[in-house]
A = this chain, B = another copy of it.
Amino acid sequence: MYTILVYDTATERNAAVLRTCRKYLHHIQNSVFEGELSKAQLIHLQHELQHHTDPTYDDILVYTLPPGAVPHRHAWGTTNDKTSDII
């Protein structure tokens, strides 16, 4: 399913969050990732992020779309497609 992730975490944890998200998704904007994930991958991503975040402080929002639905992305600013490789 198509997934959009937005994180808002403490500065000292940003690098680990970024590294973890990059393993599963494309990096689109400073704090935004997107890509296609299976349910199993989503669960793995959640578990990995739990090791790197403080749920009482950090904030991670994940949108999953219905099967087959792919969003249209509009960039109203400086965003370039920072699409990075996915392992």
Interface residues in chain A, defined as those with a beta carbon under 8 Å from any beta carbon in chain B: 4, 6, 8-9, 28-32, 46, 49-50, 53, 55-66, 69-79
Contact = CB atoms under 8 A, between A and B. Distances in A.
- Quickly give the copy total for this chain: 2
Given A29-B61, A31-B31, A69 B66 contact: yes
A73 B62 contact: yes
A68 to B, nearest CB: 9
Contacts of A78: 55-59
A59 B4 contact: no
Q: Which of A65, A72, A76 has the most CB of B within 10 A?
A: A76
Contacts of A73: 61-63
Most buried by B among A28, A61, A69, A75: A61
